Amino acid sequence: MAYLTAIPIQLSDSQRQELEAIVRRYTSPQHLVIRAKIILAADQGEGVRATARRLQLARGSMQSWRHRWLAAAATVSVARRLADQPRSGAPAKETPEQICAVVALACETPADSALPNSHWTQQELATDAIQRGIVDTISQRAVGRFLKRSGPATTSGAWLANTPSRRRV
């Protein structure tokens, strides 16, 4: 089987130092560490197959990151070269201000909205956000996603009332 030679990558000293710092840093996300290792191996002249075998990655991933590195302009920072490309998808329906308003609403007590409950449910928050004019339409699932994203890493108690079908034991 014929071996194809990979296009060589030449790093500047500052780029090499920055990539090595990403690899050494304990707090670096692993996807960035792997990408940095791919580029460093290419700079040292290691082949695609050898690097793929050593890092236990698919050859296609190796080639993709080599091509992305080479396609980026030399003036682009190392962090931007290693970053993911924007993904396709529908634009967000709610603005960041609306999301903050819904989260702020969840911090109020339901009694402030003349509700007899002691805790909010996702459906009640969605309904109240629409009634207050914060959003035109919103689903209870979207409210739950906002609260999950904006909540603290650890909570002292439940933010929302448990529904009968999901009651904790």
pLDDT digits (tens, 9 = 90+) for 87-106: 888 888 889 999 999 999 98
pLDDT over threshold 60, residue 166: no
| Domain co-membership, 77 together with 104 | no
Confidence check: pLDDT of 168 > 80: no
Quick one: average pLDDT of 54-71? 90
- Interatomic CA distance for residues 60 and 138, integer angstroms: 41
Structural domain including 138 reads 96-163
- 57, 82, 107 — which closes off a domain? 82
The percentage of the chain sitting over the pLDDT mark of 90, rounded to a whole number, equals 44
- Does residue 49 sit within a domain? yes
Measure the CA–CA gap between 74 and 11, rounded to whole angstroms: 10
pLDDT of residue 155: 52
**Would you list the DSSP string of 98-121?**
HHHHHHHHHHS-GGGGT-S-SSB-
Does residue 23 have a pLDDT over 60? Answer: yes
Helices (H), 4-95: 13-24, 30-43, 48-55, 59-71, 78-82
**Residue 29 or 75, more confident:** 29
CB 90 within 8 A of CB 72: no
- What average pLDDT does the segment 146-164 reach? 64
Quote the pTM value. 0.56
Among residues 82, 108, 139, the one where a domain terminates is: 82
How confident is the prediction for the chain on average, in pLDDT? 85
Whether residues 74 and 21 share a domain: the answer is: yes
Confidence label for 76 from pLDDT (cuts 50, 70 and 90): confident
Q: Is residue 91 part of a domain?
A: no
